[in-house]
Amino acid sequence: MSDRTARVSPREIADFLAALRSRSAGDGAALLAWKSSLLDRIAQSTADPGTHAVAEAARAELAAARSSDDVEAGGL
């Protein structure tokens, strides 16, 4: 068994884009988590610094959204 995470498949990207197109107001954090996960897995398969920067930006965007959700929920 390999320690490497499985590569992102075209089907996973298509599923993500379909979910993005049909999203509703409450789907933001879940979609950001999905996006971040896909980009992290893509970044794991390359040494390209730009790809890693995009994955890091997605993680930061997710953290900010989660932090904002915590503040709106009263810090719970």
Does residue 30 lie in a domain region? Answer: yes
- Would you say residue 32 lies in a domain? yes
Domain total in the chain: 1
Q: Is residue 39 part of a domain?
A: yes
Structural domain contains residue 65: yes
User: What mean pLDDT, rounded, does the chain reach?
Assistant: 88
CB contact set of 29 (below 8 Å; sequence gap of 6+)? 62, 65, 66, 69
Range of the domain at 53: 26-72
> What does the pLDDT look like over 14-35, one tens digit per residue?
999 999 999 887 788 999 999 9
70 or 76, greater pLDDT: 70
Residue 56 lies in a domain: yes
Residue 36 corresponds to which tokens in the numbers above? 């971040």
Q: How far apart are CA 68 and CA 76, in angstroms?
A: 11
Query: What pTM did the predictor assign?
Result: 0.81
Q: Locate 72 and state its tokens.
A: 């709106």
* 51 domain-assigned: yes
Distance (Å, rounded) from C-alpha 58 to C-alpha 27? Answer: 16
* 74 φ, ψ (degrees, to nearest 5): 85, 20
Asked whether residue 1 is assigned to any structural domain, the reply reads no
